[in-house]
Amino acid sequence: ELKVEQNPLFLSMQEGKNYTIYCNYSTTSDRLYWYRQDPGKSLESLFVLLSNGAVKQEGRLMASLDTKARLSTLHITAAVHDLSATYFCAVESGTYKYIFGTGTRLKVLA
Amino acid sequence: EAGVAQSPRYKIIEKRQSVAFWCNPISGHATLYWYQQILGQGPKLLIQFQNNGVVDDSQLPKDRFSAERLKGVDSTLKIQPAKLEDSAVYLCASSPVGGYRSYEQYFGPGTRLTVT
């Protein structure tokens, strides 16, 4: 059974700092997704990583995928308060079936 | 393009009562998902439909939960009878099949259920 783990679970960081969120998964998969969820809101798609070595960037966020290591990272550059949210990775298990990670709750302090 | 619609947005019921949630996916999306998201956790897949057929319902507690997708469009998820541990947000998502970006899911706003 595919398991998806994220760390850290909670992250409190100062504005302007850099940090990385890690997503590890237990069995082979070639597709990985990152989502953002604001409190009381639904999930917003951030990145879709479709192959080994894929790298996507949007603003201060950059995601990468290493399928051999079964690892994806979400790197935050020069954090701002607006990035405060919970971030989930999800891994495709079987055809169009997605297993979500535990989530990383990010708080950016002014 | 209209997004995934869900109703109601909030529901409070007592344990042992029944409740139903409704989802209208994005037009033309063949695949529809129901997820349960307990506070502080990631979404957990309950059931996956492709058109009006069930693809995966392995994590659906079938003694109390049921879901249907008549005519391959709208879907309803029912809980009967509800337990306290069913308190969660129920998310509906849809995705196209076979087309551009057919692997992406689009989520609705969710229904927040509180069982007292």
Q: Which one of B41, B48, B102 has the shortest CB-CB distance to A97?
A: B48
Q: Residue B3 class from Cβ within 10 Å (0-12 exposed, 13-18 middle, 19+ buried)? A: middle
Please answer whether residues B89 and A41 qualify as being in contact, where contact means their C-beta atoms are separated by less than 8 angstroms. Answer: no
Cβ pair A96:B43 closer than 8 A: no
Name every chain A residue with its beta carbon within 8 A of the beta carbon of B103: 31, 48, 50, 92, 96
What's the length of chain A? 110
Mean pLDDT, rounded, of chain A: 92
> What would the pLDDT profile of B48-71 be if each residue is shown by its tens digit?
998 889 999 999 999 999 999 988
* Close Cβ partners of B23 (under 8 Å, ≥ 6 residues apart): B4, B5, B6, B32, B34, B74, B75, B76, B77, B92, B108
Give me the pLDDT at residue B99, please: 56
DSSP state of B70: G
Closest chain B CA to residue A5:
B42
B76, containing H or E segment: strand B75-79
pLDDT (mean) for B6-18: 97
Cβ pair A96:B110 closer than 8 A: no
Q: Which one of A31, A42, A44 has the shortest CB-CB distance to B103?
A: A31
Cβ pair A45:B103 closer than 8 A: no
List the beta bridge partners of residue A25: A4
* Close Cβ partners of B11 (under 8 Å, ≥ 6 residues apart): B19, B21, B111, B112, B113, B114
